[in-house]
Amino acid sequence: MTTTPISLHLKEWTHLAPTDPGSQLTGVFLEEDTSVKKVVSQLSAQRMLTISELRAGLSIETTSYVGRIRLGNIQITIHPKITGAPLVHLLRYAYGLRDLKTGNEVAFGGEHQAFQELLIQQLIEEVSELVARGLHRRYVRTDQVLANPRGRIDLQRIARQGGVIQATLPCTYYPRLEDCLINQVLLQGLHQAARLTDESSLRIKLYRLVSVFQEAVSPIRLDEHTLKRLHREMDRLTAAYRPAITIIEMLLAAEGISLAESLPKMRLPGFLFNMDIFFQTLLSHFLKSTYRTTRYATSTRSKA
């Protein structure tokens, strides 16, 4: 059994065997670790990635899942068949992400980059745009006892305490704060993205954005309840946040984190994104856009 770290790069829907000419898998086996064996078994059962141990070494068969996963001393990076600018444009179209004209489309698709790096780069661009425009603020009710009165004086509280007995007054006021739910979700999403990338340049950019948030925004736990509440609260004032929130949800789902408490959780040692779902979303978006365009054209002709 080899203990030397090995990094493998494959395309989706490919098969690599230890007997293939020039194969890196000859003499390579999984570590004798029950947690690694359990993850491999779960990946195979869910048809995400099939890894078999043969006499000559490992046999790996990829499916529609792309990304990067680490199994003991073996790191497997699965690339989509579509790369570079075409993939970026299709991704933005399918999920309603903005084209921020940063020129990173051509740079993406290097040999050592994983699919999550594309999503993380887009997240960095989206959040940087939000920071440049100014983060969303909400009026938050605040009850404090102040020496300099502000807002509405709480007369009922004064009556309950038997009148003014100190040189302060209980006040209720509503400051506009950045410490609101949507910014809290954004902050946790940046932390999540930093844990998913191996690229130091992306991690540096993420932590720079985190430093902008962490002084004014409180940390929270991302779960199903939090995201449902967030979607209920979002309106036209926070429409610019939708692309970033979409990316954060994609990162969480592809890391194997179940947001629903009632569902079983399979925390992956990495990130695997299902390209079948991507193409289904892409086709659905295209058909809806075509239908709306056709309906509008028909309505215009009938009015004419």
pLDDT tens across 45-102, in order? 889 999 999 999 999 999 999 999 999 889 999 999 988 888 889 999 999 998 866 5
Q: Do 155 and 205 fall within a single domain?
A: no
Give the percent of the chain with pLDDT over 70: 90
Q: Do 224 and 149 fall within a single domain?
A: no
Q: Do 49 and 74 fall within a single domain?
A: yes
Q: Do 99 and 214 fall within a single domain?
A: yes
Residue entry with tokens 């990495």: 270
Mean pLDDT of the chain: 87
Q: Do 38 and 162 fall within a single domain?
A: no
Q: Do 89 and 193 fall within a single domain?
A: yes
Q: Do 113 and 99 fall within a single domain?
A: yes
Reading the block at residue 68, the tokens are 């990067």
Q: Specify whether the CB–CB gap between 29 and 62 falls below 8 A.
A: no
Q: Is residue 111 pLDDT above 60, yes or no?
A: no
Residue type, 240: A
Q: Do 24 and 43 fall within a single domain?
A: yes
Distance CA 224, CA 160 (A): 41
Q: Give 80-83 contacts, CB < 8 A, sequence gap 24+.
A: 80/11, 80/12, 80/115, 80/275, 81/11, 81/12, 81/13, 83/108, 83/109
Overall number of domains in the chain: 3
193: in domain:
yes
- Which residues pair with residue 5 across a beta bridge? none
Q: Which of 79, 95, 123 is the last residue of a domain?
A: 79
Q: Is residue 4 pLDDT above 80, yes or no?
A: no
194: in domain:
yes
Q: Do 214 and 89 fall within a single domain?
A: yes
Rounded CA Rg of the chain: 25
How many Cβ atoms are within 10 Å of 106's Cβ, its own excluded? Answer: 9
Q: Is 298 exposed, middle or buried (0-12, 13-18, 19+ CB in 10 A)?
A: exposed
Instruction: Give alpha helix (H) positions in 110-180.
Output: 115-133, 155-160
Q: Do 234 and 185 fall within a single domain?
A: yes
68: in domain:
yes
Domain containing 160: what range? 141-174
Q: Do 249 and 118 fall within a single domain?
A: yes
Give the C-alpha distances (Å, rounded to integers) separating 56 from 20, 53, 76, 195: 11, 8, 19, 34
282: in domain:
no
What average pLDDT does range 205-234 have in this prediction?
A: 92
175 sits in which H/E element: none
Q: Do 156 and 203 fall within a single domain?
A: no
- Which residues pair with residue 215 across a beta bridge? none
